[in-house]
Amino acid sequence: MAMRKPAGGPKPYPVKVIANPTQDELHKLALEHTPSVIQTAHGNLCKISRNKARMAGYTYLLYPESEKANFSGNLLDPAKGRELIELQRKYIEDKGQLISIQGYIGIGEHAFPTEWFYTLEGANIAAMQQILTFPREVVETPEQLAKDFDPVLRVVYTPDCFAKGMPGEQAILVDLENSTSYIMGPDYFGESKKAALRMLNDYVYERGGLVLHAGAKAVTKGSEHLTMTVMGLSGTGKTTTTFSKQGEVTQPIQDDMVVLWPGGGCSITENGCFAKTQGLTDETEPVIYRGTLDPTAWVENVYVDESGKYDFFKTKMTPAEVGRMRDILIQTGSEAANVDKYIKGEVSYDEVVDDGITKDGWDFVQWTQNGRSIIPMKAIEDAADLHHIPPIHSMGILNRDEGPDAATPGIVKFTSPEQAAGYFMLGETTKTSAAGKERGKTRSPFTQPFFPRAFGLQAVRFKELAAGMGQTDMWMMNTGYVGGGQKDVDAGRALKVKIRHSSAMLEALLTDHVKWKKDPDYGYEIVDVDAPENAELLEKVPAEILNPSLFFEKNGKTDLYRDWVKRMKSERRAFLEKFDVDPAIVKVIAS
């Protein structure tokens, strides 16, 4: 199938282009042109951005509203889109310079040539994207290298060109027909990363595959080599799980997106890692912690103390700390009057924060929990060989359950492609936004807000692919809590699924050291906590995590558990039917 090519040819803008600068050159450009950048004691740069997360509400596919049923996101009339694209073009021509990053999403047979353009204020974003991109030199032949780069996907990113007349004066325009995304106004790296991957979703789907919002690990079982994928929304622990070791049997491959092809084939998308940094320690997440401190990493929205070192636990800001960061806070959107009132002590922290949630206009008193680091694969310890990715034979999804009715077992095993497709389509977790203002249970089809076509197509395609994958373990793991949240754990009223519990459960799964039994409510398999064969696992993981119904029974809350079962089946049915999911899949999940 022929790929639609980006419009404009190899030189779409009549300006000076800085093509494929080195990381050192990008470091210098960022210090000179990128606002709110901090030189750290670790030798790398930390950018404090206006946006602290991707802005899905400002992302638009360029199609008329009459085609709404065929797509998953916001649509914008193509004529309005062309007006904004022309506004961006004039901005670029006025600036007179662009940085161009040319490379590949993926490597080997499934490597997709992609080009990113940035105005100079986005030099830091260009550097981050270059880290995750496979360079031409490792993909192309000498003959290809001698020719102009020929991308199949293109991204144009202008952080300080605001989309006047649009909500928030920001716009991420996705022109699938011309394989180009245009980003105006955001200054957050995730928009660059996901812009190309969103288009890749469409490309892969048209060719019979499916992009999974998933980390991947290479697994060795005796003489057998296979790939395990781990799906999960932000905050569920996808990156942590991907880079945690299970004995000596796993190596990290990828932390965010991989491609599933017919027959269980797997291809990767990135040459590095984009990791959350909140709460990082050398003890709990050594690979990500050490990678973030490496001089080759780039960092975004992590608090930097007076000595230039990172504080991965920063939350509450004192007036003195706000005073030291005053200029950057105002540059990134905080109200100067409020900042100054706080610095002077005219307003206290407790007056503007209620149960961890800040009042509007006072977000700066709490440091964002969505700090990120972009780490090159060469700085990832014990990474797998990205040139030789074995087929997928283990697929899982993470559900960070939390709340008084949190009752998802520590690990479950699905019994059919239909059951796996249903739970993957649900994409359940508990939502906590970077600003701490959105909470509660949420669902996102295949944890994939980047799939541009109708979401229900993913479940259909996955069922098709899974049926041809042979013997493949498909599972779900709770990375959150049983019976409450952190305050309840502190009070002895709930249980936390810790990283060591997750690693123990995955190791038992991968080495086939689990005796399973059928869950009477949902039909998937759970760990049989009464079986002698599971004694070793039970020494590492509490029985009430493996089978939460025991926790609710022990604490006299059986009625709460039964209500949870009834409500979840009803909500899951409604969610799946909303996306026109195959009735056979709905029946397995909700009956």
pLDDT one-digit tens code per residue, 172-199: 999 999 999 999 999 999 999 999 999 9
Scanning the structure block, which residue is given the tokens 């960092």?
299
List, for residues 6-32, the tens digit of each pLDDT value: 988 889 999 999 999 999 999 999 999
Question: pTM for this structure?
Answer: 0.90
The per-type count for the chain, helices as H runs and strands as E runs, is: 20, 33
Partners of 298 in the beta sheet?
374
Residue 246 clears pLDDT 80, i.e. is over it? no
**Whether 118 contacts 151, CB under 8 Å:** no
**Whether 120 contacts 30, CB under 8 Å:** no
Residue 304 identity: V
Residue 95 CA to residue 11 CA, distance in Å, equals 16
User: Using CA of residue 492, residue 493, residue 499, residue 503, what is the dihedral sign?
Assistant: positive
Residue 461 identity: R
* Coil/strand/helix, residue 103: strand
* Coil/strand/helix, residue 473: strand
Q: State the alpha helices, DSSP H only, in 281-386.
A: 286-293, 319-324, 326-331, 336-344, 349-352
- Determine the pLDDT at residue 356: 84
Residue 543 clears pLDDT 50, i.e. is over it? yes
Residue 301 identity: N
DSSP character for 2?
Answer: P
- Determine the pLDDT at residue 438: 46
Q: What percent of the chain has pLDDT over 70?
A: 97
CA angle 405–411–412, rounded 5-degree value: 95
pLDDT tier, 248 (very low <50, low <70, confident <90, very high otherwise): low
Residue 219 CA to residue 380 CA, distance in Å, equals 17
Strands (E), 62-123: 74-75, 97-105, 112-118
Mean pLDDT within 428-436: 59
DSSP character for 366?
Answer: B
End-to-end CA distance of the chain: 40
DSSP character for 69?
Answer: G
Strands (E), 301-410: 303-304, 310-311, 353-354, 357-358, 372-376, 392-399
Residue 318 CA to residue 305 CA, distance in Å, equals 12
List, for residues 339-360, the tens digit of each pLDDT value: 999 999 999 999 999 988 999 9
pLDDT tier, 436 (very low <50, low <70, confident <90, very high otherwise): very low
pLDDT tier, 440 (very low <50, low <70, confident <90, very high otherwise): low
Partners of 261 in the beta sheet?
265
Cα-based distances in Å from 140 to 114, 145, 150: 13, 6, 11
Tokens of 449: 């807000």
pLDDT tier, 430 (very low <50, low <70, confident <90, very high otherwise): confident
Q: How many CB atoms lie within 10 A of CB 503?
A: 19
Residue 218 CA to residue 389 CA, distance in Å, equals 8
**Whether 243 contacts 285, CB under 8 Å:** yes
* Coil/strand/helix, residue 372: strand
Domains in the chain (CATH in brackets) are 16-207 (3.40.449.10), 292-372 (no CATH), 397-590 (3.90.228.20)
CA-wise closest residue to 83 among 9, 164, 187:
164
167-186 b/e with 16+ CB inside 10 Å = b? Answer: eeebbbbbbbeebbbbbbbb
